Chains A and B, each alone.
Chain A
Amino acid sequence: MRDTSTAFRVKKAFGYAMMLTFLAFSLLPVIWVVLLSMRPPTALFEPIWESPGAWTLDNIRSIARSDFPAALLNSFITAGSSTLLAMLIGVPGAFALSKRRSSNKFFASWLLLLLRMAPPVGFVIPLFLVYVRVGLIDTYVGLIFAYTSLTLPFVVWSMWTSFNQIPDELIEAGLMDGASLGRVLWRIVIPAARPGLVAAGVLSFLLAWNDFFFSLIITRSDTTTAPVAVMNFVSYASVDWGAIAVASIALTLPIVPIIVLANKYIVQSLGGAVKG
């Protein structure tokens, strides 16, 4: 008995050691960024024990005075709006694709997959040329549309699979009860597919929030988003590492509560479990 229990303890300790190693490995850059954000420029690349008293809030102050808060707001506006737009169009679209009897579904799924898989660089050049013509460069509308081209296929694809798990009889019961198709979607299907819906919303928000490439090409100054604004702290003469560290934290922090709140739904949705 004792032998097995010792073996079990060793195994458990080994498991914990593995987890801690992995955690340290993945958290180290984060910890480093947090430390960097509070160090003065002179002490940036010194080991902490050489200047243990060198802490400052100057990096945060300089970020607050820069264009970065405006860029953060731009990120919120564009990622939020494109997610909203993608959900408004994508959810009914996915519902139709999932529940309508149609022979064109294969084509639709193929096209959606293509949009999901194709590298953004494939879209950004034609988009740029069109935007220059119609005056959408450096506008919210231009960036929101561009992001929606990323988020919409994602929302449709993931909601399509969520809706596939909703039994047809549930929809038919709604129709028999006198609800229109729109009300069936709103009152029955969407609440029943809530985990998938939350997951699709959060992940598509992150898709737009984390974008660098589209923003870099399409924005100039007015609508620059936070990931691109970070670049402003890099100049020919110097790199303001402290400011970059603060900006990185500012970019990450808003995501944390969203992920914490939506974690359950995201796991459920990715695990494919919808309770009947």
Chain B
Amino acid sequence: MGNITLDKVVKRFGDVEVIPPLDLEIADGEFVVFVGPSGCGKSTLLRIIAGLEDLTSGHIEISGRDVSHLAPGDRGLAMVFQSYALYPHMTVRENMLFPLEMTRVDSRAANEKVERAAEVLNLSAYMDRKPGQLSGGQRQRVAIGRAIVREPSAFLFDEPLSNLDAALRVNMRIEIAELHAKLGTTMIYVTHDQVEAMTMADRIVVLQAGRIEQVGTPLELYERPCNEFVAGFIGSPRMNFIRGAEAERLGAPVIGIRPEHINASRDAGMWNGKVSFSEHLGSDTYLHIDTDVGPVNVRTTGEFGVHRGDTVWLNPNEQSIHRFDTNGMAV
């Protein structure tokens, strides 16, 4: 069991309230991603759950047990850090044995657990190496291994892939997702990368200034963002926002339309503009267009042969238009 309940959790540093009262329910076995721009409080929230930051007020329950004032090691959680945080003077084996030593697991059982985790993570060949002799991806796997052997009720990941290069990041993303499928343990994952959030999460928690903006499945957030912030944050390339008379004509003070929901044409359409920049990726073409309603980005499938300065007509798919009021809330 690893369901986690945050009840009116508040965190203040001096006079600054970094987390205003916040409630959140995470079900057993769920993969929840906290996402938001830097400084939105997502890491602080994770560290509060871990016990590495004190609560100012409120309660945290893990598997029905109030852990608000328990030490980090007594909460039954395991954490994987951005910098891996492997003990540099210990071998891979000793690193993975360490949490078991601390909980006084009998040494034969401990060794078995470590061997099993090493097998799952393809680390068996490196057990007697020190972290300094491993690559970034291997270090990250050791960090995950050290978390697995504790058999925690939930895993906490604090931007675990930020230090890896792009190709390795995609691989590790899949490995972590597979691990979740295999173990079925609750995972909370913090990232500023919305692609990671969209691809891995059962549910995404979008945070801004310590506040939860929206909680939902990746598709819910993509299709029905509750406000302008979430609409702009989720989805890549970013949603276009149009204000003023054209927005009013389409039914709201502000309208949002995703780049993939606009058709570009050379002949006719609703908006007309000039290409300021185009990115040709082969599979897709991203067009940056200066129109009379403002700058608009468009994503077209395949190659769309235009150059800087060419005139292009745009047709938004009207069913896919998101409408927001003057406060930025979806209408």
- Chains A and B belong together in one complex: yes
Using CB atoms and an 8 Å cutoff, list the residues of chain A in contact with chain B.
Answer: 167, 169-170, 172-180, 183, 187-188, 191-192, 194, 275-276
Q: How many residues of B contact A (CB 8 A)?
A: 25
* Nearest chain B CB to A55 CB, angstrom units: 51
Partner of B87, one of A175, A183, A188, A194: A188
Tally the A-B contacts, defined by beta carbons under 8 Å: 66
Give min CB distance, B139 to chain A, whole Å. 10
Partner pick for A192 among B50, B74, B78, B87, CB 8 A cutoff = B87
CB distance from B140 to the nearest CB of A (A): 13
When distances are taken between beta carbons in the complex, the residues of chain B under 8 Å from A275 are 88, 132
Q: How far is the CA of A276 from the CA of B52 in the complex (A)?
A: 22
B89, A194: Cβ atoms under 8 Å? yes
Query: Do the beta carbons of B102 and A169 come within 8 Å of each other?
Result: no
Chain B residues within 8 Å of A187, by CB: 87, 98
Residues of A close to B88: CB separation below 8 A: 170, 192, 275-276
Q: A177 — which chain B residues lie within 8 A by C-beta?
A: 73, 98-99, 102, 146, 150
* Cβ-defined contact, B102 with A192, below 8 A: no
Q: Are A176 and B89 in contact (CB under 8 A)?
A: no
Residue from the list B51, B71, B81, B103 in contact with A173, Cβ < 8 A: B81
| A175 engages B85 (CB within 8 Å) | no
Asked whether B89 lies within 8 Å of A170 as measured between CB atoms, the reply is: no
- In the complex the two chains form, is B102's CB within 8 Å of A178's CB? yes
| A–B complex contacts, Cβ < 8 Å, 19 sampled | A167-B83, A167-B85, A169-B82, A170-B85, A170-B87, A172-B52, A172-B85, A173-B86, A173-B146, A175-B71, A175-B72, A176-B50, A176-B78, A178-B74, A178-B103, A179-B98, A180-B73, A183-B102, A276-B132
Given contacts A172-B52, A173-B79, A275-B132, contact A179 B73 (CB under 8 A): yes
Contact with A along B49-81 (1 / 0, CB 8 A): 011100000000000000000011110011101
Query: Closest B-chain residue to A191, C-beta based?
Result: B89
CB-defined contacts of B98 to chain A, threshold 8 Å: 174, 177, 179, 187
Determine chain A's interface SS by DSSP, over half rule: helix
B144 to chain A, nearest CB (A): 12
Docked CA distance A172–B47 (Å): 10
The residue among B73, B103, B132 with the most chain A CB atoms within 10 A of its own CB is: B73
Inter-chain CA distance A275–B81, complex, in Å, is 18
A194 to B90, CA, bound (A): 13
A169 to B82 alpha-carbon distance, docked (Å): 9
- 5 further A-B pairs in the complex, CB-CB below 8 A; given A169-B82, A179-B73: A173-B146, A176-B73, A177-B99, A178-B73, A179-B98
Contacts of A178 in B (CB 8 A): 73-74, 99, 102-103, 150
**Residues of A close to B132: CB separation below 8 A:** 275-276
Q: What CA separation (Å) do A245 and B102 show in the bound complex?
A: 55
- Chain B residues positioned under 8 Å from A183 (CB to CB): 102
Say whether, besides A177-B102, A183-B102, A275-B132, A169 and B89 are in contact (CB < 8 Å).
Answer: no
Which residues of chain A are near B83, meaning CB under 8 Å? 167, 169
CA–CA, A132 to B127, complex, Å?
61
B22 to chain A, nearest CB (A): 22
Q: How far is the CB of B214 from chain A (nearest CB, A)?
A: 29
